[in-house]
Amino acid sequence: DDYVTATVTVRVPLQSGVVTNTAVIYFNEYDDVNMEDDSASLGVRVDACWARLNDDATNYYPLQAALDAAQPGDVVKVAGVCVGVTQRVLNGIQEHQTACITQNLTLRGGYTITDWTTSDPVAHPTTLDALRQGRALFIAGAGVSATVEGVRFTGGKAFQGGGGLVRQASVTIHDTLFT
């Protein structure tokens, strides 16, 4: 693939500052390319995603790092927009998802990077976007019981359960949207 790396500065609505993030821009079958003058119209998505465990001040990136570091019973707090997927091999099958939960925990959105105490998913939406590269949410494991609150899942694409899939586990879902 032909690609370039560019520095993109965006205003993130969940905070009052400016986040600078590096994005990889590439052409694919969805890009609007004009062959006559070698110009192109591209959409760029910036990952402005923060995650914390319980009341600890440590920021995790990507979101999967927080999910992996969590202990049973922890609350994984998320702020912003988390994009893309990570790979995980579960029961010999390679899976791609934005969030993979394999233990008892709560995944809760609606936070801001300046307020990790109060979750308000209406005022501060948290979005997990798989960018059509895999599932947005995958919960797996015998006896695993997860809770998902205040999160918007979008952009999932998979043979089964693009938005989300629960395998041999249980989930309680509150104030959550799958699109």
d(CA 16, CA 1): 36
d(CA 167, CA 177): 19
Q: Hey, CA dihedral for 119, 120, 121, 126, is it positive or negative?
A: negative
pLDDT value for 80: 93
pLDDT value for 174: 96
CB 153 within 8 A of CB 179: yes
pLDDT value for 40: 52
Q: Hey, CA dihedral for 94, 44, 23, 49, is it positive or negative?
A: negative
The number of CA neighbours under 13 Å toward the Cβ of 155 is 18
Residue-wise pLDDT for 118-177, tens only, equals 999 999 999 999 999 999 999 999 999 999 999 999 999 988 888 899 999 999 999 999
pLDDT value for 89: 85
Select the more confidently predicted residue: 177 or 22: 177
User: How sure is the predictor about 116, in pLDDT bands with cuts at 50, 70 and 90?
Assistant: very high
Residue-wise pLDDT for 60-80, tens only, equals 989 999 999 999 999 999 999
Smallest CA-to-CA distance from 43 within 130, 131, 154 is with 131
Residue-wise pLDDT for 74-103, tens only, equals 999 999 999 989 988 877 888 899 999 999
pLDDT value for 47: 61
d(CA 14, CA 10): 12
Torsions phi, psi for 21 (to 5 deg): -135, 150
**CB-CB neighbours of 137 under 10 Å:** 27
Mean pLDDT within 93-116: 94
Residue-wise pLDDT for 32-63, tens only, equals 555 565 555 555 555 689 999 999 999 998 99
The pTM (predicted TM-score) of the whole model is 0.76
